[in-house]
Amino acid sequence: MNYKVPLVLTPQPEGGYTVTSPLLPELVTEGDSMYHALENAKDALAAVIELYEDIGRTLPQNTRISDANSPVWCETVISAP
Q: Which of 26, 9, 18, 30 is nearest to 75 (CA)?
A: 9
- Kindly state whether residue 79 falls inside one of the protein's structural domains: no
Name the domain count of the chain.
1
| Domain around 45 | 2-65
pLDDT at 50: 96
pLDDT at 19: 95
- Kindly state whether residue 54 falls inside one of the protein's structural domains: yes
CATH number for 10: 3.30.160
Per-residue pLDDT of the chain (81 residues; tens, 9 = 90+): 788 898 999 999 999 999 999 999 999 999 999 999 999 999 999 999 999 999 999 998 888 877 767 666 666 666 566
- Kindly state whether residue 8 falls inside one of the protein's structural domains: yes
pLDDT at 2: 81
- Kindly state whether residue 48 falls inside one of the protein's structural domains: yes
Are the C-beta atoms of residues 17 and 77 closer than 8 Å to each other?
Answer: no
Q: How far apart are CA 26 and CA 24, in angstroms?
A: 5
- Kindly state whether residue 75 falls inside one of the protein's structural domains: no
pLDDT at 55: 96
Count of all residues that appear for the chain in the document: 81
